[in-house]
């Protein structure tokens, strides 16, 4: 496929420094800070491609923060914003011809877009996110053999403890996997990502959400119908379920109130998960063992309804996962960090 990964996201939060400390503990590598005036610049760019929230840029503070993953390089920026939200989502394409195809598709849909030196930029009113498709290198991940598991009738690890219980290193996410966004116009947002940008649909929840991919991962963007535009969660790949558990355990040792939902296994996507809450109110997910769609002809998208599609096993999702506790405040203009 011409598109191949999420390259970088920019998240706006009211409490940048506190939220940056959280993601450093989460395992992301921190780069030297950038001037957070970039936040206003990003919002201005969104305005040039559509209409930014409230018709004006977010106010910028003194400092922004950039973070890296083990395989993806710089994949997240935190910048000051009046309320928590995803400001920008960047998607990697292979070459300039791919950019031309995206620009032509957006034009056919009458979606305003702005060309840049390296790509094309469009604004989605439903999610209030600026999406940038740019030429970028593909992620190359070193082969990571699965840990040996003893199973009935097969001893793969004789006379040895499981590697997962011996690990003491800090958990570091390998890459940004996906983002989940609330949209006030789910159908319109889905159209922009699929017909405009070239994402493919992996599975759907009728009338509510679409799991969409720009890589071989089951989904890179999920857009769900919501009463307002907001960032539900970001998701970060780790090696295996032991890393999911170790990462979450370390985070909860620092602050048990960070816990949202987990440990469990999703049904749609099949991945192991554990969700935590950052100081701004965004959820962040450790995941492993996500379905991968290498041959589109061998995958049949399905529709899912009810809790069965949400998880296969694990604790039931808390109400705060389905409807984050700060949504009412976001809707009424109370944007402070929660």
Please state the domain count of the chain. 1
Q: Tell whether 277 is covered by a domain.
A: yes
User: Which tokens belong to 63?
Assistant: 């400092």
Residue 334 clears pLDDT 80, i.e. is over it: no
- The percent of residues above 90 in pLDDT, for the chain, comes to 80
Q: Is 257 exposed, middle or buried (0-12, 13-18, 19+ CB in 10 A)?
A: exposed
Model pLDDT, residue 63: 59
Model pLDDT, residue 1: 57
Instruction: Check residues 3 and 52 and name the one with the higher pLDDT.
Output: 3
- DSSP states along 198-246: --EEEEEETTTEEEEESSSBS-SEEEEE-SS-EEEEEEEE-SSHHHHHH
Instruction: Check residues 260 and 36 and name the one with the higher pLDDT.
Output: 260
Arithmetic mean of pLDDT, 178-188 = 97
Q: Tell whether 327 is covered by a domain.
A: no
Handedness of CA 56, 12, 34, 116 (dihedral sign): negative
Domain extent for 43: 3-138+173-319
Query: How large is the angle between the packed helices 16-26 and 241-254, nearest 10 degrees?
Result: 140
Model pLDDT, residue 118: 86
Query: Over the stretch 81-130, which tens digit does the pLDDT of each residue have?
Result: 999 999 999 999 999 999 999 999 999 999 999 998 889 999 999 999 99
b/e sequence 9-41, b meaning 16+ C-beta within 10 Å: bbbbbbbbeebbbbbebbbbbeeebeebebbbe
Q: Tell whether 148 is covered by a domain.
A: no
Q: Tell whether 160 is covered by a domain.
A: no
Q: Tell whether 155 is covered by a domain.
A: no
Arithmetic mean of pLDDT, 224-231 = 95
Query: Over the stretch 289-329, which tens digit does the pLDDT of each residue have?
Result: 999 999 999 999 999 987 678 999 999 999 999 899 899 89
Model pLDDT, residue 46: 39
Handedness of CA 8, 175, 326, 187 (dihedral sign): positive
In this prediction, residue 333 has a pLDDT band, given cuts at 50, 70 and 90, of confident
Residue 259 clears pLDDT 70, i.e. is over it: yes
Q: Give the CATH number, domain containing residue 246.
A: 3.10.180.10
Q: Tell whether 287 is covered by a domain.
A: yes
Model pLDDT, residue 34: 52
Q: Tell whether 337 is covered by a domain.
A: no
Cα angle for residues 68, 116, 97 (degrees, 5° grid): 90
Nearest Cα to 281, choosing from 245, 315, 328, 317?
A: 328
Q: Tell whether 333 is covered by a domain.
A: no
In this prediction, residue 335 has a pLDDT band, given cuts at 50, 70 and 90, of low
């Amino acid at each position: 496929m011409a598109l191949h990964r999420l390259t970088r996201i920019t998240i706006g939060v009211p409490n940048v420094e506190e939220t940056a400390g959280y993601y450093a503990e989460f395992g992301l590598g921190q780069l030297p800070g950038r001037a957070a005036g970039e936040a206003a610049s990003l919002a201005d760019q969104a305005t040039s491609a559509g209409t930014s929230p409230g018709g004006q840029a977010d106010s910028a503070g003194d400092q922004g923060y950039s973070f890296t993953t083990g395989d993806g390089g710089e994949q997240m920026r935190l910048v000051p914003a009046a309320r928590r939200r995803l400001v920008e989502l960047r998607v990697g394409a292979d070459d300039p011809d791919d950019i031309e195809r995206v620009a032509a598709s957006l034009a056919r849909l009458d979606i305003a877009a702005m060309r840049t030196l390296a790509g094309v930029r469009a604004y989605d009113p439903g999610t209030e996110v600026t999406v940038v498709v740019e030429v970028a290198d593909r992620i190359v991940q070193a082969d990571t053999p699965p840990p040996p598991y003893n199973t009935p009738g097969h001893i793969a690890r004789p006379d040895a403890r499981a590697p997962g219980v011996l690990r003491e290193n800090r958990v570091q996410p390998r890459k940004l996997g996906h983002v989940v966004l609330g949209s006030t116009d789910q159908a319109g947002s889905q159209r922009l990502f699929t017909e405009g940008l070239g994402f493919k649909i992996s599975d759907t929840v009728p009338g509510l959400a679409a799991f969409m991919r720009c890589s071989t991962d089951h989904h890179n963007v999920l857009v769900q119908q919501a009463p307002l535009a907001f960032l539900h969660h970001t998701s970060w790949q780790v090696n295996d379920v032991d890393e999911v558990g170790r990462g979450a355990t370390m985070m909860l040792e620092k602050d048990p109130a960070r816990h949202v939902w987990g440990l469990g296994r999703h049904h749609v996507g099949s991945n192991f998960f554990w969700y935590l809450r950052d100081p701004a109110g965004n959820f962040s997910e450790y995941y492993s063992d996500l379905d991968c769609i290498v041959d589109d002809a061998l995958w049949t998208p399905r529709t899912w309804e009810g809790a069965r599609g949400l998880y296969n096993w694990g604790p039931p999702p808390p109400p705060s996962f389905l409807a984050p506790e700060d949504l009412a405040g976001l809707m009424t203009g109370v944007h402070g960090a929660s």
